[in-house]
């Protein structure tokens, strides 16, 4: 069964460093998303991406964050200068369409720890 | 913002049906009800969704009331592996680009 894959599963980085989280969405999907979940808190929407541009972003997704689809398969989230409060699980998701009758599928996440 | 209300937690005996309720009294006519679950800190797993008709798949059944103000997710034979947080999500018409995850219901399946 097709699935969204994320790498790495766990990333430890020093405060101020740049990190890139990688995702391979399901192959025929056109819409891509990043969510995050701080330990013990809710899953929060960060950004949606379609046709090589951001469709929507939340207030969390500030100038420190960027997304890219560098080739036909990968979808990346970059945090330019990490802060302690960026420590969280980051989930990538993809969907075939963006209409309300289309489900999104999530990856298993990358645990980012900023020290 | 969440348009749903769910109990914080529920218990269910292994092998029995788990019935998870959700209230969405302000749902609009073209908004869908989705259910996801999250086991430990894994990624949310899609379960099922529907508009107004009852739906069934290999994982669960979704029963939506006629007035669409509430729904119930049914896991027909719960196993220990079904222990998870279950999220009922209304995908809103003017903001369908994302899913809003509330606090969900922690389902504890007990032997």
pLDDT one-digit tens code per residue, A24-82: 999 999 999 999 999 999 999 999 999 999 999 999 999 999 999 988 789 999 999 99
Contact B93, B30 (CB under 8 A): yes
Among A96, A19, A81, smallest CA distance to B46 is for A96
CB contact under 8 A, B99 and A104: yes
CA A41 to chain centre: 17
CB contact under 8 A, A45 and B100: yes
> Would strands A10-13 and A110-114 be described as parallel, antiparallel, or unpaired?
parallel
Q: How confident is the model at residue B1 (pLDDT cuts 50, 70, 90)?
A: low
The confidence score (pLDDT) of residue B93 equals 66
Q: Is B27 helix (H, G, I), strand (E, B) or coil?
A: coil
Distance from CA of A14 to the nearest CA of B (A): 23
Separation CA A96–CA A110 (nearest Å) = 22
What confidence tens digit (pLDDT) does each residue in A1-30 have? 789 999 999 999 999 999 999 999 999 999
Q: For the range B52-55, what are the long-range contacts, defined as Cβ-Cβ under 8 Å and sequence gap of 24 or more?
A: none
Q: What is the rounded average pLDDT of the residues B78-92?
A: 94
CB contact under 8 A, B46 and A42: no
The confidence score (pLDDT) of residue A13 equals 98
User: Number of residue pairs across A and B with CB atoms under 8 Å?
Assistant: 57
How many helices and strands (H and E) does chain A possess? Answer: 0, 11
Per this entry, what is the length of chain B? Answer: 111
Indicate if the pLDDT at residue B96 is higher than 70.
Answer: no
Average per-residue pLDDT for chain B:
93
């Amino acid at each position: 069964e097709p699935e969204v894959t994320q790498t790495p599963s766990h990333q430890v980085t020093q405060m101020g460093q740049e990190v890139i989280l990688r995702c391979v969405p399901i192959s025929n999907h056109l819409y891509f998303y990043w969510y995050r979940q701080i330990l013990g808190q809710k899953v929060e929407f960060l950004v949606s991406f379609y046709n090589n541009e951001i469709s929507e972003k939340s207030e969390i997704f500030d100038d420190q964050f960027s997304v890219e689809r560098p080739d036909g398969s990968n979808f990346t989230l970059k945090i330019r200068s990490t802060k302690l409060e960026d420590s969280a699980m980051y989930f990538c998701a993809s969907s075939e369409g963006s209409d309300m009758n289309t489900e999104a599928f999530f990856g298993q996440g990358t645990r980012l720890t900023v020290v | 913002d969440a348009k749903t209300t769910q109990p914080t937690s529920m218990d269910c005996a292994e092998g029995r049906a788990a019935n998870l309720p959700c209230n969405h009294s302000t749902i609009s006519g073209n908004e869908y009800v989705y259910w996801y679950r999250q086991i430990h800190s894994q990624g949310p797993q899609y379960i099922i969704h529907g508009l107004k008709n009852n739906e069934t798949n290999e994982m669960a059944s979704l029963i939506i009331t006629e007035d669409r103000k509430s729904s119930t997710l049914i896991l027909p034979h719960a196993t220990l592996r079904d222990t998870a947080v279950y999220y009922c999500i209304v995908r809103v018409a003017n903001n369908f680009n994302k899913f809003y995850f509330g606090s969900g219901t922690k389902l504890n399946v007990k032997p």
